[in-house]
A and B are shown apart, each in its own frame.
Chain A
Amino acid sequence: MAGFVLEGIGIKGISCAVPKKVFDNTEFYDKFGKEAVDSTIKMTGVRYSHRAPDEQTASDLCFVAARNLIEKKGIDPAEIGAVVFISQTPDYRLPATACVLHKRLGLSKNCMAFDVNLGCSGWVYGVNIVGSLLKTGAIDKALLLFGDTSVRTVSPEDRGAVMLFGEGGSATLLAKDENDSISGELMTDGEGFKSIIMPAGGFRNPNASTERVEQPDGVVRSAYDGYMNGTDVFSFTITQVPKLIKNFSEKNGKTPDQYDALILHQANLYILQQISRKTKVPMEKIPVSLDRYGNTSGTSIPITLCDAYGDKSNENLHLLLSGFGIGLSWGVVEANINSDDIFPIVVTNEIFTEGTEVFD
């Protein structure tokens, strides 16, 4: 297993931003029928989600989260030596959205900036990536920005998907601290690359039709819409994720329930319950935010932290955090975070209008 230890690195701030509009899944009664909607809500646990207007992007949400984090932490933006934007809904095909965020945040030229394409495992991967940059670079502070606007990546006819996702952005500050450390393990199974996929829009299927037609699974979508084989993803999750959580804890001389909390990617409620059962961590130690924010892809770990601890004062939390999904890709991170460094979720309608006017 691809384990890592980042001695002398810590998570020193987490902020999240979500769009203003709150969507209630019962608004789908007319479209999908009451019975189907109610049973989907019961299984996924998602009743409400925040949804962005078309013009608001994941980077807009990350920008607001990062600006809030910089203000709250009282950091000089010039101190930030790296910014990594992880998303599957970037602003453009080119350039990297991290460069746009670098400009908007007014960061120094002495700063690395790049994008990474990962979804639900993206935040735990990002902790490793950004922590490694700090470890090897002559920089003291770095930002991990994860955001996705997933609702618009799926067909509006895809009930299971449109009722599951929410949208949001996050900013996580990592910094050098000789008394702190982060460890974790990251995994991949590329055999499952088709389990969650948006086949067109890249360069593999250049002439795919944009027409939405009924697919073998009965859902009307085009190759530009996201597809998820829910059965296989569920099967993967309930076997691989608990195994990683248990093995990692054991290697660190613990059982999973000995952490202050297990922070899980908010895939859906049924999956959280299965992981709880298999890892023997009671649901009381697994905070849930998906009922009000939906599955926000890799943002769901920071959203869950901000939701659970944003208003708590000076609690030293020893946490196990796990993200898993598209790739297939999954991982676990063990970290100490003080609740004073976890800020309440910000709601915003801010849009970077300058970003739409490019050919000047």
Chain B
Amino acid sequence: MTDQEKIALLEEAFEADEGTLTPETELDSVDGWGSMAKLTLIVLMDEECGKTLKSDDIKKFVTIKDIMDYMG
């Protein structure tokens, strides 16, 4: 998956407008980064990346790049 594809998936998951997220974006500044977004992210990781995301992993995410790195 390219970085562009990853960002597109994350924008969809966080209900963010296209082109608003960059690898440097801090998650705390993203409006949609709430409990629902975390569940959506778990589904996304399971579906798109075959990974089982846990709460401890999510706690370590600071920027969009952290999530992209996890996606592999």
| Chain A residues engaging chain B, CB cutoff 8 angstroms | 39, 43, 160, 229-232, 234-235, 238-239, 270, 274
Q: Verify if B13 is at the interface (C-beta below 8 Å from A).
A: no
Q: Are A232 and B54 in contact (CB under 8 A)?
A: yes
Q: Are B42 and A235 in contact (CB under 8 A)?
A: yes
Q: Distance in Å from the Cβ of A269 to the closest Cβ of chain B?
A: 12
Contacts of A160 in B (CB 8 A): 35
Bound state CA distance, A322 and B35, in angstroms? 26
Contacts of B4 in A (CB 8 A): none
Q: Are B39 and A232 in contact (CB under 8 A)?
A: no
On whether A239 and B52 interact (CB within 8 A), knowing A231-B58, A274-B43, the answer reads: yes
- What are 23 A-B pairs with beta-carbon distances under 8 A? A160-B35, A229-B55, A230-B35, A231-B35, A231-B38, A231-B39, A231-B42, A231-B54, A231-B55, A231-B58, A232-B54, A232-B55, A234-B39, A235-B42, A235-B52, A235-B55, A238-B42, A238-B43, A238-B46, A239-B46, A239-B52, A270-B39, A274-B43
Q: Are B54 and A235 in contact (CB under 8 A)?
A: yes
Within 8 A of A (CB), among B21-49: 35-36, 38-39, 42-43, 46
Q: Annotate B51-63 by CB proximity to A: 1 below 8 A, 0 otherwise.
A: 0111100100000
Contacts of A231 in B (CB 8 A): 35, 38-39, 42, 54-55, 58
Considering the complex, give the chain B residue whose CB is closest to the CB of A230. B35
Q: Which of B35, B39, B46, B52 has the most CB of A within 10 A?
A: B39
Contacts of A235 in B (CB 8 A): 42, 46, 52-55
Q: Are B54 and A39 in contact (CB under 8 A)?
A: no
| Chain B residues engaging chain A, CB cutoff 8 angstroms | 35-36, 38-39, 42-43, 46, 52-55, 58
Interface of A is mostly: helix
Additional 18 contacts, C-beta under 8 A, given A231-B42, A235-B53? A39-B36, A43-B36, A160-B35, A229-B55, A231-B39, A231-B58, A232-B54, A234-B39, A234-B42, A235-B46, A235-B52, A235-B54, A235-B55, A238-B46, A239-B46, A239-B52, A270-B39, A274-B43
Contacts of A232 in B (CB 8 A): 54-55
Bound state CA distance, A189 and B25, in angstroms? 36
Contacts of B54 in A (CB 8 A): 231-232, 235
Contacts of B42 in A (CB 8 A): 231, 234-235, 238
Bound state CA distance, A231 and B39, in angstroms? 7
Q: Distance in Å from the Cβ of A202 to the closest Cβ of chain B?
A: 24
Considering the complex, give the chain B residue whose CB is closest to the CB of A271. B39
Contacts of A234 in B (CB 8 A): 39, 42
Considering the complex, give the chain B residue whose CB is closest to the CB of A235. B42
Q: Distance in Å from the Cβ of A81 to the closest Cβ of chain B?
A: 43
Bound state CA distance, A232 and B58, in angstroms? 10
Bound state CA distance, A274 and B47, in angstroms? 11
